[in-house]
Amino acid sequence: MKHIFYSLVLLLSLSACKENPSGEDGAMTSTPEKQRDSVQDFAIVIHGGAGTILKENMTDSLETAYEAKLTEAIQTGYKILQNGGTSLEAVQRTINVMENSPLFNSAKGAVFNHEGKNELDASIMDGKTLNAGAVAGVTNIKNPINLANEVMVNSEHVLLSGKGAEEFAEEQGLEIVDPSYFFTQKRYDALQRTLEQEKTAKKDTKTAFYDPFIKDDKYGTVGCVALDKNGNLAAGTSTGGMNNKRYNRIGDSPIIGAGTYANNKTCGVSSTGWGEYFMRGLVAYDISAMMEYGGKSLKEATDAVIQKKLTNMGGTGGIISLDNNGNVSMEFNTPGMYRAYMNDKGELQLGIYKELQK
């Protein structure tokens, strides 16, 4: 009876979905994927943040730099997967490449908080065991995604924060750097501009959050989802959070189910965008739940969650995701999202703006 029930649900779901093509509400849709409904032996997808990324604001050399770094990052993970490595290893090493680059709002390139410090958040999840690890507000860990992994593997906790997380990192022998390592002139100047604007804005605790200039600085995160040859999904996310953030704000990146989720039954997801909306909407887990309980495909679920639910709430950003066959969805409702996907044949899809470049 149970089997028949689920088969019927699936059949009905599929027929219902044909009448509801994605993007029906006229919401902005990302580029359709070339790979759909195929079965990949392994696959990997990354993002380097979503936001108001427009070609007219980008120099050729900067565009080339982003393309090169995204390609380097995804190839790092691809090689690990091709050689039979785990999705967890691929996710970490791929994110490390982006964490070590000043191009992305993550580790080396992290934005500054209101006090002129860099506070880093990261999380990782293992789709096989549903184990997870995360850190929030660390200031001296070179690669926060590696610390998130240590929390998952070597503690009984899921989320550690601040000084306590740093103490745990030292005990585990992670690479510690002086906080000045995270200084970049570009991010520092961005903070100074924001602080200058605040002085002239009317005194209102909400002002900083509504400023359209600052809004763009909300975005910027790096993330990776990988499927390995053993069929195990993993997902990870790492960020510097929000420029000029205060009050030890924690965003969605270290929150399992909001910024990161992986489950071999369904999919792996990493989010980037206006974190508060991703937390209220449980965006990463919501995609999985829609697949598991609602019988949706990855493409249908990501379209519904990003283009309809998130958009209707007023949230902006995007996700990268793989289902357990290696099908990809890179969905966002912003003008751009740094992103790349590689299938088991090593074919690359790479994009910054709405349309894919490669």
**Out of 8, 39, 68, 176, the residue judged to bind its own copies by CB under 8 A:** 8
Residue with tokens 């393309």: 67
Is residue 302 among the annotated active site residues?
A: no
CB 8 within 8 A of CB 42: no
Nearer to its own copies, 254 or 351 (CB): 254
Nearer to its own copies, 223 or 251 (CB): 251
Residues numbered 32-51 forming contacts with its own copies, rule: CB under 8 A = none
Nearer to its own copies, 264 or 349 (CB): 264
What 3-state class would DSSP assign to 3? helix
Question: Comparing C-alpha atoms, which of 253, 240, 243 is closest to residue 101?
Answer: 240
Q: Enumerate residues 6+ apart whose C-beta is below 8 A from 2.
A: none
Nearest approach in angstroms of CB 83 to its own copies is 29
Q: Enumerate residues 6+ apart whose C-beta is below 8 A from 304.
A: 290, 296
246 binds its own copies (CB under 8 A): yes
Nearest approach in angstroms of CB 244 to its own copies is 12
Sheet holding 260-262, edge to edge: 260-262, 267-273, 317-323, 328-332
- Select which of 94, 221, 237, 334 is catalytic: 221
Angle in degrees, CA 63, 67, 71, rounded to 5: 170
CB 222 within 8 A of CB 95: yes
Residue with tokens 């039979």: 84
CB 245 within 8 A of CB 101: no
120-149 burial, b for 16+ CB within 10 Å, e for fewer?
bbbbbbbbbeebbbbbbbbbbbbbbbbbbb
Binding mask 101-140 for its own copies (x = CB under 8 A): -----------------------------xxx---xx---
What's the Rg (C-alpha) of the chain? 19
Question: Comparing C-alpha atoms, which of 135, 149, 91 is closest to residue 321?
Answer: 91
85 binds its own copies (CB under 8 A): no
Nearer to its own copies, 136 or 235 (CB): 136
285 binds its own copies (CB under 8 A): yes
**In this structure, is the dihedral angle defined by the CA atoms of residues 241, 243, 248 and 249, taken in order, positive or negative?**
negative
Give the containing element (helix H, strand E) for 149: helix 144-154
CA distance 32 to 215: 27
89 binds its own copies (CB under 8 A): no
Q: Which stretch binds its own copies (CB under 8 A): 186-194, 278-286, 333-341, 348-356?
A: 278-286
Residue with tokens 């703006």: 353
* CA 217 to the chain's CA centroid: 15
Residues numbered 247-276 forming contacts with its own copies, rule: CB under 8 A = 247-251, 255-258, 275-276
Q: Which stretch binds its own copies (CB under 8 A): 79-87, 93-101, 192-200, 201-209?
A: 201-209
Q: Which stretch binds its own copies (CB under 8 A): 38-46, 183-191, 283-291, 317-325?
A: 283-291
10 binds its own copies (CB under 8 A): no
Nearest approach in angstroms of CB 130 to its own copies is 5
Rounded to 10 degrees, the C-alpha dihedral 215/285/260/248 comes to: 50
Residues numbered 143-182 forming contacts with its own copies, rule: CB under 8 A = 154-165, 167-168, 171
Total residues interacting with its own copies, rule: CB under 8 A? 59
289 binds its own copies (CB under 8 A): yes
Q: Which stretch binds its own copies (CB under 8 A): 77-85, 91-99, 231-239, 284-292?
A: 284-292
Give the interface with its own copies as residue ranges (CB under 8 A).
1-2, 5, 8-9, 12-13, 15-16, 19-20, 130-132, 136-137, 154-165, 167-168, 171, 205-206, 209-210, 246-251, 255-258, 275-276, 279-282, 285-286, 289-290, 292-294, 313
Q: Which residues are catalytic?
A: 221
